[in-house]
Amino acid sequence: MNLQWNVETYLILIGTILSGIGTIWIIKKNWRQYGLLFLISTLIGNILCLLFIELKFYSYPYNLFPKLYPMPFALLLTMFPFYVLFGVRYSPSSWKYKIPFYWVLVHIGTLGEVLAQNYTSVIRYNNYWDTWDSYTWWWIFLLVFELIGGIVVSKENRKPLLEDSFRYGKPVWYLLHFILILTIFLAGVYLGTKL
């Protein structure tokens, strides 16, 4: 076990605990449907991640259990499924509003990954991988699971954000724009100057 008192350990443990709590909170709404979606997203997420590691697209230099697993298993066991469960549970009914909803989720995930890449040893991009690849795969992963979630989780067990909450002057509208402006301009400008 590679347990040290550093930022990587704190990030992995805090991320695992928070996403684990969020995952359990959503699964409790309907443990059969959300539990099945959790298992599918965990399985596919970890297989994709292992494939990308084998293809040497990226690596995880700091890992709590490096001899057992080549990536932070507990974090990936909870983080990706939490994103999927949260997205399926709360995404609006209309695709006109699903896209901005998932846009925010993708930007938060990509920003977290970029910060981890640039300031910690949690993840390292290799020769054939960059931020754009991560951004693209976040979109693919979440939208595919939006479709799978539509099959696995019944409409009665979803709680889509109301379309009216995306209108100007509503809290969701402000939150959506705040996150998008922050991630596009501040993080984008930062990455542009760093490259």
SS (H, E, C) 9-67: HHHHHHHHHHHHHHHHHHHCCCHHHHHHHHHHHHHHHHHHHHHHHHCCCEECCCCCCCC
pLDDT tens-place string over residues 14-58:
999 999 999 999 999 999 999 999 999 999 999 999 999 999 999
CA distance 182 to 174: 12
- The pTM score is 0.89
Residue 167 backbone class (left: φ over 0; alpha: ψ -120 to 50; beta: rest)? beta
pLDDT of the residue at 192: 65
Q: Residue 176: pLDDT above 80?
A: yes
pLDDT of the residue at 161: 94
Average confidence score pLDDT of the chain: 90
CA distance 83 to 191: 24
Q: Residue 154: pLDDT above 70?
A: yes
pLDDT of the residue at 1: 59
* Nearest C-alpha neighbor of 38 from the set 149, 123, 187, 190: 149
CA distance 78 to 83: 9
Helix (H) or strand (E) segment spanning residue 125: strand 124-125
Separation of CA 77 from chain center: 11
Assign 188 a pLDDT band (cuts: 50, 70, 90): low
Q: Residue 127: pLDDT above 90?
A: no
Cβ atoms of 71 and 32 closer than 8 Å: no
C-alpha distances out from residue 129 to 56, 59, 82, 134, Å: 9, 10, 24, 8
Assign 137 a pLDDT band (cuts: 50, 70, 90): very high
* Nearest C-alpha neighbor of 5 from the set 62, 88, 74: 62
Cβ atoms of 110 and 135 closer than 8 Å: yes
Q: What is the mean pLDDT of residues 100-111?
A: 93
Q: What are the two backbone dihedrals, phi and then psi, of residue 122, each rounded to the nearest 5 degrees?
A: -70, -45
Assign 191 a pLDDT band (cuts: 50, 70, 90): low
